[in-house]
């Protein structure tokens, strides 16, 4: 399974992040350890929700959708 996950910064709740992975726990640990350029400045992060997909391609497509335009508005309303 592949997951699109949604994070919220614990120090600045206006900062959110969406990504995809096959291992949510490991990826969250990486974000909180500062091993992601985009999320490093706003750590620590909490997992607020995720969506599971059977294929990597579907997860990537959904992640891209949530990062722009109406997809971002949808994700903000439903997942953060």
Q: Do the beta carbons of residue 4 and residue 66 sit within 8 Å?
A: yes
Phi, psi of 77 (to 5 degrees): -75, -40
Q: Is residue 40 very low, low, confident or very high in pLDDT (cuts 50, 70, 90)?
A: very high
The dotted CATH code for 2-78 is 3.40.1440
Residue ranges of the domains in the chain? 2-78
30 token code pair: 């990486």
* Cα distance between residue 63 and residue 2, in whole Å: 11
Q: Is residue 7 very low, low, confident or very high in pLDDT (cuts 50, 70, 90)?
A: very high
What pTM was estimated for this model as a whole? Answer: 0.93
Kindly list the strands in the beta sheet with 45-53, ordered across the sheet, starting from the edge strand earlier in the chain: 16-21, 2-9, 45-53
Mean pLDDT along residues 39-43: 96
CB under 8 Å to 55, separation ≥6 — which residues?
2
């Amino acid at each position: 399974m592949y997951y699109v996950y949604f994070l919220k910064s614990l120090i600045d709740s206006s900062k959110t992040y969406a990504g995809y992975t096959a291992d949510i726990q490991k990826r969250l640990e990486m974000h909180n350890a500062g091993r992601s350029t985009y999320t490093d400045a706003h750590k620590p992060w909490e997992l607020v929700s995720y969506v599971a997909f059977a294929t990597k391609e579907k997860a990537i497509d959904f992640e891209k959708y949530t990062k722009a335009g109406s997809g971002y508005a949808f994700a903000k309303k439903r997942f953060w």
